[in-house]
Amino acid sequence: MQITIEDLSPVEKKVEFELPWTDVAPKLDKAYDSLRKGVRLPGFRPGKVPRALLEKMYRRQVEDEVARELVERSITQAIRENQIQPVAPPAVAEIEIKPGSPFKFSARVEVRAQVAPQDYAGVPVSRRPPKVTDEEVQQALEGYRRRMTQFKPVEGRTETGANDLVRAELSGRVGEHKIKRREVVVDLEDDAGGPLPGLASRLQGKPISGETPFEVDYTLPAEGIPAELAGRHVKLTVSIKEAREKQVPALDDELAKDTGEAETLEGLRAKVREKLVETEQQRIKREVERALVKEIVKRNTFPIAPTLIDRYAQAIVNRTKNQLSMMGMDVEAFDDERMRREVRGDAEEEARGAILLQAIAEREGITATDADLQKRLAELAASRNVSVKQLRGDFEKDGRIQQIEAQVREQKTLDMLISQAKITDEDPPTKSEGSLIVTPDEARREARSKSK
């Protein structure tokens, strides 16, 4: 096989192939032999249909199958031997087998640009201090109460209460989007969560009988929710099928003991604050990583394949649609093309960041060792409640183990960049910049100071 590679641009190559007829003919013979064994034609015994008749009846089908096999095998070999890094499936020009002649075809391959990363060490980036408020700690403690809450059927009233948990059937639209999930469970105390922000409070004081539907009509907020829903008008028809009254445990030492995490409420409060600080630190670390990559992208200019940007844009769209689907939205009617256009800027930045991180890893010799991979698999296995051996086998079977290796290598690269970065810690907010609400602890301290 002869292969000729032409660089059309820094991100696109044209690969021309030529296979001699002596490589093609045996493939055709094998294909016709296989066809002869399976075909049944009147007047011929099984396996005895003449080749000439098979060619007359099935020539186009056989040649197309052989051509596709030859193309796939040839491209795979060319990519491997010439270390081509495609970012999308190659585009193959029209192919045709001509008996007795060499089999020729060409493919256009979009590739990752060869990037020589620069100015990535010592990048200045700011880092905010971790901040966990008393209100957030209290909300987390309330989460323990919710998890330990018991539910009993509503008795003695015909309308929903402010703290009920209801099963409702609904239909209607959010903006131009149709509601897909007909039945939902809503905590009437959680107006920010649930299937739709703002829905919970609008189901309070409604008839529990499923035979009495009612209308819900309001507008979603413009911020804090997925862009596809922000500011959209909600118009629903709702029926309450079931309501259960919550029996919420008191927030006291007994509840703390029941959690198994502390013996007293104050001990649980301290543990909750510690967990929230840890979560906040992880969030800050991700913020620093994003800011760092964004700055490195600004410092490095290089061409990028449009198809790669398209792939990243579609990935962002898929993440958004998954989130909306979990909220009960019918995502099948969404305009993917419009959504891809809207996120294309973010997609390009994300793609450039990934390319630079890979290029930096190659320059610095950063790899994912088997120990690194085993550690990551152990974390994933623990979160999924499966064995590491089973998870690794599943990933190796479907080819996802390479994705895990790439993720580990990327994280190690980010860790190296952060260790080299010039990080400036922002000053914590002064008292005047804090909350206008005086907590009981603050009030007591202020009273004590005045009494002195």
Structural domain spans, the chain: 2-110, 124-129+258-425, 150-247
- CA distances in angstroms from 241 to 172, 193, 211, listed in the order given: 17, 20, 8
Sequence-separated (6 or more) residues with CB below 8 Å from residue 223: 230
Residue-wise pLDDT for 350-392, tens only, equals 999 999 999 999 999 999 999 999 999 999 999 889 999 999 8
The CA distance from 159 to 206, in Å, is 5
Is 2-110 CATH 3.30.70.1050? yes
Q: Are 90 and 78 in contact (CB under 8 A)?
A: no
What percent of the chain lies above the pLDDT cut of 70?
94
Task: Please list the alpha-helical segments (H only) found in 97-196.
Answer: 134-147
Residue-wise pLDDT for 153-175, tens only, equals 888 888 999 889 999 998 898 88
Indicate the pLDDT class of residue 226, thresholds 50, 70 and 90. Answer: confident
Q: Is the pLDDT confidence value at 63 over 80? A: yes
- CA distances in angstroms from 102 to 2, 27, 32, 55, 328, listed in the order given: 10, 13, 19, 19, 56
* CATH code of the region 124-129+258-425: 1.10.3120.10
Q: Report residue 426 as tokens.
A: 């922002």
Report the interhelical angle of 370-384 vs 388-397 (nearest 10°): 110
Q: Are 67 and 96 in contact (CB under 8 A)?
A: yes
Task: Return the bridge partners of 329, or none.
Answer: 179
Indicate the pLDDT class of residue 448, thresholds 50, 70 and 90. Answer: very low
The CA distance from 301 to 305, in Å, is 13
Q: Report residue 86 as tokens.
A: 């495609």
Task: Decide: residue 88, CB within 10 A, 0-12 exposed, 13-18 middle, 19+ buried.
Answer: middle
Domain 150-247: give its CATH architecture: Roll (3.10)
Q: Report residue 269 as tokens.
A: 């409060």
Q: Is the pLDDT confidence value at 186 over 50? A: yes
Residue-wise pLDDT for 17-46, tens only, equals 999 999 999 999 999 999 988 888 888 888
Residue 286 amino acid letter: R
- What is the C-alpha R_g of the chain? 31
Residue-wise pLDDT for 276-312, tens only, equals 999 999 999 999 999 999 999 999 999 999 999 999 9
State the pairing for strand pair 422-425/124-127: parallel
Q: Are 91 and 106 in contact (CB under 8 A)?
A: no
Indicate the pLDDT class of residue 326, thresholds 50, 70 and 90. Answer: confident
Q: Are 14 and 6 in contact (CB under 8 A)?
A: yes
The CA distance from 37 to 48, in Å, is 8
Report the interhelical angle of 265-299 vs 134-147 (nearest 10°): 120
Q: How far apart are the first and last CA of the chain?
A: 94
Fold agreement between 2-110 and 124-129+258-425: no
Among 287, 259, 254, residue whose Cα is nearest residue 271: 259
Q: What DSSP string runs through 293-329? A: HHHHHHH------HHHHHHHHHHHHHHHHHHHHHTTB
User: Could you tell me how many residues make up the chain?
Assistant: 452
Q: Are 188 and 146 in contact (CB under 8 A)?
A: no
pLDDT, the chain, mean: 87
Q: Is the pLDDT confidence value at 7 over 70? A: yes
Question: CA quadruple 351, 355, 356, 358: dihedral positive or negative?
Answer: positive
Q: What DSSP string runs through 6-48? A: EEEETTEEEEEEEE-HHHHHHHHHHHHHHHHHH---TTS-TT-
The CA distance from 313 to 348, in Å, is 8
